């Protein structure tokens, strides 16, 4: 199946730990994104990445770092986890770049992160 897949689907961890979320797309898209959806269901952009070029959202703490081994993968590493990091994290991809706005995004099914 062509899709955007994320692992793990659920992640429960203690404060202070370091964790990673993996994302892979087999759609051949050049652009990938990480979004955070908080408890109020608000989807907020964290990072966008186009063909190994990273565009960083300045409002994201330095504890969050994306890593892209190739254009089909965009992983998210989080250091020193805090309670406020608890949310659902969505990976997405698109065929074009956001400024072109020709195609819609394809989202993964999300990773629910709970920090205790």
Partner 1 sequence: SQKIEQNSEALNIQEGKTATLTCNYTNYSPAYLQWYRQDPGRGPVFLLLIRENEKEKRKERLKVTFDTTLKQSLFHITASQPADSATYLCALGSNSGYALNFGKGTSLLVTP
Decide if residue 42 touches partner 1 (CB under 8 A): yes
User: Minimal distance in Å, beta carbon 87 to partner 1?
Assistant: 14
**Side-chain half-sphere CA neighbours of 52 within 13 A:** 2
User: Minimal distance in Å, beta carbon 80 to partner 1?
Assistant: 25
CA distance linking residue 35 with residue 16, whole number of Å: 22
Q: Are 31 and 19 in contact (CB under 8 A)?
A: no
Residue in 26, 51, 80, 109 binding partner 1, rule: CB under 8 A: 109
CA distance linking residue 89 with residue 64, whole number of Å: 12
Residue in 92, 93, 113, 115 binding partner 1, rule: CB under 8 A: 92
Return the closest-CA partner of residue 116 out of 79, 80, 83, 77. Answer: 83
Decide if residue 99 touches partner 1 (CB under 8 A): yes
For residues 41 and 69, which CB has a smaller minimum distance to partner 1 in the complex? Answer: 41
User: Minimal distance in Å, beta carbon 41 to partner 1?
Assistant: 6
């Amino acid at each position: 199946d062509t899709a955007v897949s994320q692992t793990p689907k659920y992640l429960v961890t203690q404060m202070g730990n370091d964790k990673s979320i993996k994302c892979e797309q087999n759609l051949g898209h050049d652009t990938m994104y990480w979004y955070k959806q908080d408890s109020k269901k608000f989807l907020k952009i964290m990072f966008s990445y186009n063909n190994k070029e990273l565009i960083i959202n300045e409002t994201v703490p330095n504890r969050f770092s994306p890593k892209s081994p190739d254009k089909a993968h965009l992983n998210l590493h989080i250091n020193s986890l805090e309670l406020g990091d608890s949310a659902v994290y969505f990976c997405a991809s698109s065929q074009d770049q956001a400024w072109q706005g020709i195609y819609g995004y394809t989202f993964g099914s999300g990773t629910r992160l709970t920090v205790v």
